[in-house]
Amino acid sequence: MNKAELIAHLSEDAGITKTQANATLDSFVNTVTKTLKKGDKVTLVGFGTFSVSKRAARTGRNPQTGETIKIKAKKVARFKAGKELASKV
């Protein structure tokens, strides 16, 4: 499912226009992004938790040349499904 299909489903389920559903989805994504940037996490009971995890610096290998390279440390977004979502999938 892509964003347009998700917006169409949200519009039908909530009985709102596609424009309103798009605005709602954009607001949700922006809010989650801002919260994760601050280092906090977003928990939706029954659905799951969005959080930030730190990935340590490490060495890797360029698959084309076989050369060893250094990979910088960085923060990555994570999602852990809640019990209810996991049991339904």
Q: What is the tens place of the pLDDT at every residue in 28-70? A: 999 999 999 999 999 999 999 999 999 999 999 999 999 999 9
Query: How many Cα atoms occupy the beta-carbon half-sphere of 79 within 13 Å?
Result: 10
If DSSP codes are grouped into helix, strand and coil, which group holds residue 63?
coil
Question: Distances in Å between the alpha carbon of 83 and those of 21, 29, 40, 43?
Answer: 27, 22, 21, 12
Amino acid 65: pLDDT: 93
Helix 18-37 crosses helix 3-14 at what angle (to 10 degrees)?
A: 120
On average, the pLDDT of the chain sits at: 95
CA–centroid distance for 6 within its chain = 15
Per-residue confidence (pLDDT) for residue 27, from 0 to 100: 97
Domains of the chain (ranges; CATH) run 3-88 (4.10.520.10)
pLDDT for 81: 95
